[in-house]
Amino acid sequence: MSMLIIEYIIFLISAIYFIVILLFAIGWKKLRIPLKIETNKHIPVSIVVACRNEEKNISSLLDSLLNQKYVKNQTEIIIVDDHSSDNSINIIEKYVAKYNFIKLFRLTDNNTGKKEAIKLGIANSKANIIITTDADCTAEPDWLITMLNYYIEHRPKMLCGPVTFKNSKSFFSKLQNLEFLSLIGSGAGAIGIHKPIMNNGANLLFEKALYESCNTKNEFASGDDMFLLLHAKSIDKKSIHFIKSKKAIVYTNAAQTFREFINQRARWTSKSKAYRNFDIIFTALIVTFTNLLLVAGFVTVLFNADFLKITLFVLLIKSFADLLILIPTTSFFKQTYLILLFPVLQLIYPFYIVFTVILGLFGKFVWKSRLYK
């Protein structure tokens, strides 16, 4: 293959990447900020949380749920324990004894994993509207009423909410946060152009009937949220909304160690083997190939300086595209200072993404002290 043909292929992949991210940025811009809705309508809601070894976080979650402004007699909080070996159960039981709308269920010995926990929680829920979040998350007092007001007004089958990291003080956590916000912004932007490709179970509202009609593919360690999105998309892609409201933000924790971070990303990648949706597959391939080009370029330049110009070209095109989505997203979350770390992330990201793709598709990873292949 001649050098000219290689350059054309590289230019084509880079151009497609730029167009894809540009469309996500346009989608983000198109998302309407919900108006303040004053309503006396209160519908029942069940908040379902899977919990495993979260003794350090579960009290903060439950306290933030108790502080929600939404009426308590229409709220049900369901915690499902996935064989915790720490003090999580004892902590939860104290809340259950004090509040009758907080309920605890425990997976049986032959059932394990987050999917089974969510399934059990929803099976025991009373409301037709389900909201999922994670045991290490917290939310401001307006979160629940904001999510439900939006649902009452627009009636989406699935409502995806914004998520960001809390207490991002270390350099490592800030880098994670910047990368994570790029995912949140891209996912929201894709919903904005009616091409949903991702969501986050840490802040997700959906109709119970939608879940009950969905196969969440239990052979995968992750993906209950994504398989539900794909199911909703197959029914009506316009029924999937993203709520662009600061009051709807859920806060979660960054990975504490590099190993934990890699395992988390590999887990997210592992479920992609089951995807059959063109939008998701196309986006994943373009992102992977663009980063693979950069990895190959960085390595090749060490032996042949002639490749420096074309490698810099790909890096500049990718960087400009990424900033189109990162600048408005970090601005929304009031974390524009994270852009200062953008140059560092751009140099690290290609290597890490290629590695986690390989690990997630063909390797092993650990999640919640369990080994998955």
- Same-domain check for residues 22 and 106: no
- Same-domain check for residues 127 and 241: yes
Question: Is 267 within a domain?
Answer: no
Question: Is 23 within a domain?
Answer: yes
Q: Which residues partner with 131 through β-bridges? A: 47, 205
From 238, 262, 286, the end of a domain falls on 262
Question: Is 18 within a domain?
Answer: yes
- Same-domain check for residues 46 and 178: yes
- Same-domain check for residues 161 and 309: no
- Same-domain check for residues 202 and 78: yes
Q: Which residues partner with 163 through β-bridges? A: 250
| Length of the chain (residues) | 373
What lies within 8 Å, CB to CB, of 43 at 6+ separation is 74, 127, 128, 129, 148, 151, 152
The CATH number of residue 243's host domain is 3.90.550.10
Q: Domain range spanning residue 294?
A: 9-27+277-372
What's the pLDDT score for residue 223? 61
What lies within 8 Å, CB to CB, of 292 at 6+ separation is 350, 354
- Output Rg (C-alpha) for the chain, integer angstroms: 21
Number of structural domains the chain divides into = 2
Question: Is 147 within a domain?
Answer: yes
What's the pLDDT score for residue 40? 67
What's the pLDDT score for residue 148? 95
What's the pLDDT score for residue 110? 87
From 220, 239, 262, the end of a domain falls on 262
- The residue ranges of the chain whose pLDDT is under 50 are none
- Same-domain check for residues 164 and 18: no
256-294 per-position pLDDT tens digit: 888 888 888 877 777 777 777 899 999 999 999 999 999
- Same-domain check for residues 107 and 17: no
Gap between the Cα atoms of 250 and 139, Å rounded: 5
From 207, 235, 262, the end of a domain falls on 262
What's the pLDDT score for residue 362? 72
- Same-domain check for residues 111 and 186: yes
